[in-house]
Structure 1
Amino acid sequence: MGAIQIKGLGKAYKQYPSQWARLAEWIVPFGAQRHQKHWVLQDINFEVKAGEAVGIVGSNGAGKSTLLKLITGTVRPTAGEVVLHGRVAAMLELGMGFHPDFTGRQNAIMGGQLLGLSLETINNLMPAIEAFAEIGDYIDQPVRTYSSGMQMRLAFSVATVQRPDILIVDEALSVGDTYFQHKSFDRIRTFRKEGTTLLIVSHDRYAIQTVCDRAILLEAGHVKMEGPPIDVLDYYHAMMAERDHYKIRQLALADGRVATISGTGEVYITDAQLLDESNQPVKSVKVGQDLNLVVSIKARVDLPRVVLGFMITDRLGHCIYGINTHRLEQPLENMVAGEEATYCFRFPARLGKGSYSLSLSLSRFDSHLDKNFEWRDNALMFHVFNTKREDFVGSSWLDAKVDITRQPMHE
């Protein structure tokens, strides 16, 4: 079983005012220091236990890739230490270690040897590598003729042909076709069930939430937040929308979840209720029941355009349905300071049994990432139960019907 321990980890690079200063320090190593240290990562501490899956998220330049390089040993730390227990397989920069003039088969052999496999073992595993990569006759062509997706297929196939104790994956899996991405994550999930420890960097919210037990948010080389994937990702996406000094705050809910609220506050939500057909507040909803979502807002300043949207997610944070008044071609235009407005969305709860949350967004156009007036995660919670519909499984009630025709036997 694999485990990872990160203790006081830091990485700094030397910055020189000029090339002459670099040369002078090299010629006179014991003279005056002519550089400054630029810390890419500093004071990173966390542990990934055996069999655990942890996702690393953060904006570009936050230090995610540097952290993985330090963990895998391709970059030496300036401070702190990394302790690894178990055999490690890593998918970092796409095609890292591949020689462009060697064939895919030759690169696969070299890649397997770098993982510590014997030549005999690699040759025995080569059919499995070829079958998973699905690049056909290109396996015997130079890698320089490959597309980026083909390189990723081969690199992932080699790195995971045997189940490692620790699997480290960078954003390379975002390259390539959807089919192979699903295939790769299916293999990762299988490894997880068998006990592999996983450390993954991805901007894919679905991947982090479905695969990981925990998430870590990096910002400017420091750990900004650590916790359940849903809470960390909600905060991260609110932070990504943060412009013009938007405020971000988090509120603890009764069920232990966290509501993230962010935005400029130029227009804000004053009230939100989920009502039944009789306009009574509901927290328990029957499958197929007609619902009204009533949201009231108020403007603090004059605004040329306001869009309200909502999104329903299940307990794992998967988006079930989302819509806004921009997509419905009903934006509110020329709102003046002090003006109030009330929206009423009507829809049937064609949902499966379980707990759901409803998030709200006030923006200028289709996305709150463009202009975030207010983004409120987990604004409302409700539970769906089934008493009158067929005993179906899944998150959506499709009310399927079936006709069956039996063919008579001919003697």
Structure 2
Amino acid sequence: MTAPVLTVSGVGKAFRRYKREMHRILSLCGISMAPSEERWVLRDINFAVEPGQAVGIVGRNGAGKSTLLKLITGTMRQTTGTIAVNGRISAILELGMGFNMEFTGRQNAFQAAGMMGFNQSEIEGVIAEIEDFAELGDYFEQPIRVYSSGMQVRLAFAVATAFRPEVLIVDEALSVGDAYFQYKCFDRIRSFRKQGTTLILVSHDKAALQSICDRAILLEAGKVAKDGSPEEVLDYYNALIAAKEGEEIETIAHPSGRVQTISGDRRARIESVALYDSNGTAVETVAVGKPVELRVTARAHADLEKLVLGFALKDRLGQTMFGTNTFFADQSIDDVTEGETFSFGFRFDANLGPGNYSVSLALSGGESHLVDNYEWRDLAMIFTVVNLGEPFDGKTYIPTTVDVVRGADKAIST
């Protein structure tokens, strides 16, 4: 059995304040001194990461994500527990990687790579690749102080990945870069993963987490709240963000083998959901481009000022392909009485690529479930789209008319 590349056992981190500096020094020397103030940002963190895994770390601001990464990389020491790393770690934890603002990009590249443990000849062997990947042009020979934040990210990522590490850690820094450079970075990350590199990614970009990671860990108030597939963890995180006093978050093993998340205060609830074809027959398999209707029934369990139903179509990774609601259709329901029932119908063409899709539903009091979340239900139903002969490729089907005119001097009519 392959040993984990990273093992975090019982890790906690407390920031302590002492009445006198001498008390702090004595505590560092192993002499027990009671602090005047103690704030725990992480408590009892336990997980292991296998070689080649891609793990996303998610959580609200202040949940302890950045602190955990600093402990893993050794730039900060844990208060309790142990961290074992099997291999070399390369990390981008903050903008600039500690660059010297007066050094040029080239000088900083040599300095940063040297601090990572590489010697002069090793760095000289990859400096041209660093320069090429960063695409800074003449700025590579200019001081970092004239760089934009995006340019600093380009250089930092190019240096951090010049040598393939066993573990690559990226903490939000890529969100600063432009779309083109983000694509380059994720392409390199995917290439490293194929070669066995383990990835730990902190990001608020759901699409990036779902497309790259095969596991996610949710931190909440300094503890691990959920550890599982990105879809399961991000659904739970979404519910947690919207949760208010009196709301419940429920997770259920779905027949598909995935985990369903249901949240809300239950003042209104989904009673049924089904997909129908153009003949009015309930279906679980539909053909690309064919018209369908999503029918939902709901019941109010309290008097409500407003009731809105929304739906989202998600692919097998949990990425949203499309979503809308009755608020945007100007069909919100006002002055709802407890016990009332409602039927909703959403008609659309199944312009999706072949594959399995799920429907998420949300009953709320406004345009978003963040206002009044009555019930949010992921995996409300699953259906399959099949291609019966439409000539296209991709995740969405866009019927296209093609005009071709032979001869460059002739214009295509409009």
TM-score of the superposition, structure 2-length normalised?
A: 0.91
1:25 is the counterpart of 2:23: yes
2:5 is aligned to: 3
Amino acid at match of 1:200: L
1:173 is the counterpart of 2:174: yes
CA-CA distance at 1:32 after TM superposition: 6.3
Amino acid at match of 1:136: G
Distance 2:179 2:375 in 1: 32
1:380 is aligned to: 381
Distance 1:136 1:27 in 2: 48
2:258 is aligned to: 257
CA-CA distance at 1:303 after TM superposition: 2.6
CA-CA distance at 1:336 after TM superposition: 3.0
2:124 is aligned to: 123
- Number of matched residues? 403
Report matched runs for 1:166-315 at 5 Å: 166-315=167-316
1:185-216 CA distance string (max 9 Å, x none): 11111111111111111111111111111111
* Contact 1:22/1:34, CA 8 A, preserved across alignment: no
Cα RMSD after superposing both structures: 2.2
Amino acid at match of 1:25: H
Identity of aligned residues (%): 51
The alpha-carbon distance between structure 1 residues 32 and 172, as it changes in their structure 2 partners (threshold 3 A), is: closer
* Contact 2:293/2:348, CA 8 A, preserved across alignment: yes
User: What 5-or-longer segments of structure 2 have no aligned partner?
Assistant: 408-414
* Contact 2:16/2:35, CA 8 A, preserved across alignment: no
2:347 is aligned to: 346
CA-CA distance at 1:84 after TM superposition: 1.2
CA-CA distance at 1:158 after TM superposition: 0.7
1:224-250 CA distance string (max 9 Å, x none): 111111111111111111112311101
Distance 1:27 1:254 in 2: 57
3-state DSSP of counterpart to 1:394: coil
Report matched runs for 1:300-339 at 5 Å: 300-339=301-340
* Contact 2:288/2:390, CA 8 A, preserved across alignment: no
1:399 is the counterpart of 2:399: yes
Distance 1:26 1:263 in 2: 46
3-state DSSP of counterpart to 2:46: strand
Amino acid at match of 2:12: G
Distance 2:374 2:129 in 1: 52
* Contact 2:97/2:112, CA 8 A, preserved across alignment: no
User: What 5-or-longer segments of structure 1 have no aligned partner?
Assistant: none
Distance 1:38 1:238 in 2: 27
Distance 2:329 2:272 in 1: 22
1:92 is aligned to: 93
Amino acid at match of 1:48: V
* Contact 1:50/1:197, CA 8 A, preserved across alignment: yes
The alpha-carbon distance between structure 1 residues 107 and 302, as it changes in their structure 2 partners (threshold 3 A), is: same
**Larger mean Cα displacement after TM superposition, 371-380 or 266-275:** 266-275
3-state DSSP of counterpart to 2:283: coil
CA-CA distance at 1:252 after TM superposition: 1.1
Distance 1:378 1:27 in 2: 54
* Contact 1:304/1:333, CA 8 A, preserved across alignment: yes
CA-CA distance at 1:398 after TM superposition: 1.8
CA-CA distance at 1:34 after TM superposition: 4.2
The alpha-carbon distance between structure 1 residues 120 and 28, as it changes in their structure 2 partners (threshold 3 A), is: closer
Amino acid at match of 1:250: T
The alpha-carbon distance between structure 1 residues 27 and 178, as it changes in their structure 2 partners (threshold 3 A), is: closer
